[in-house]
Amino acid sequence: MNDSQGTKLKLANEFHTDMQLEIPGMHGRFKSKLCGVVNEEILIFQISPKYVDAIRSLTKDNTPTVTVRGISRGRAFGFKGASIKFIIHPKALLLVAYPTKIQTQIIRASQRVKCLLPCKFSKEDTEISGVIADISSSGCHFKTHVDIDEAQAEAMQLSNEVTMVFTLPGKDKEITINAIIRNTFSDDEKIDIGFQFDGLTDDDRLAIKEYIDLSFDLEPF
């Protein structure tokens, strides 16, 4: 991780850039656009109508800290800022204090990140639910419980080709991916399965890459 002060990455140059916001009390990240900067003191984010009720409720009597992540010129960046005001009319806008520090990270060609993404995979008529515990652009590790039936055990065999379905934070559309089982491990509590993605579409590959690029820890506000 390479840290940088706000003066090194000018957020005023990032107008209309898609960013992902997190607010305590909301489920996961959501997409927004930076649409204004006031004297390097206030950031103005455009908010989709579907998030208005949740944000209005969370900011009514509080000023929660907003975590912001984005990508610019080959680097992922992130920062935290206090919410200042939420405006509903004529457009929904969230005003956030300009950060004192912006953290940046060089985007690597290939990396794997830990996560906890609900997921299910299926082979023919057999479906298994669990979570993706880590993910890269080429595959993932999946965890599920040990209480499985005979058909599910058969679906977990090495080299099986299966269909995986999951949703990435900040995205509305489910991702459906073909995958191949490359390894399995089990103990008394869980079953771990290593998957290799097979035939990713360009859109799915880009969505996974964006999620990985933005998945780094930020220092406390």
Domain ranges of the chain: 2-106, 113-213
pTM for this prediction:
0.63
DSSP string for 165-213: EE--TT--SPEEEEEEEEEEEE-SSEEEEEEEEES--HHHHHHHHHHHH
Question: In the predicted model, is pLDDT for residue 106 greater than 60?
Answer: yes
Question: In the predicted model, is pLDDT for residue 109 greater than 80?
Answer: no
Q: How far apart are CA 127 and CA 120, in angstroms?
A: 7
Question: In the predicted model, is pLDDT for residue 166 greater than 90?
Answer: yes
Higher pLDDT, 72 or 142: 142
Query: Which of 3.40.50.880, 3.40.80.10, 3.30.9.10, 2.30.110.10 is the CATH number of 2-106?
Result: 2.30.110.10
The chain-wide mean pLDDT, for the chain, equals 87
Q: Which distant-in-sequence residues (6+ apart) come within 8 Å of 167 by Cβ?
A: 117, 118, 173, 174, 175
Q: Compute the average pLDDT of residues 19-42.
A: 89
- What is the share, in percent, of the chain residues with pLDDT greater than 90? 53
Asked if 26 and 55 count as a contact pair (C-beta separation under 8 A), the reply is yes
Which CATH architecture is the domain 113-213 placed in? Answer: Beta Barrel (2.40)
Report residue 12's pLDDT band, with 50, 70 and 90 as the boundaries.
Answer: low
The distance of Cα 22 from the centroid of its chain, to the nearest Å, equals 10
Q: How far apart are CA 121 and CA 199, in angstroms?
A: 16
Question: In the predicted model, is pLDDT for residue 42 greater than 90?
Answer: yes
3-state secondary structure of 157: coil
Q: What DSSP element (H or E) covers 153?
A: helix 150-155
Report residue 9's pLDDT band, with 50, 70 and 90 as the boundaries.
Answer: low
Question: In the predicted model, is pLDDT for residue 54 greater than 90?
Answer: yes
**Residue 186, pLDDT score:** 86
Q: How far apart are CA 215 and CA 113, in angstroms?
A: 7
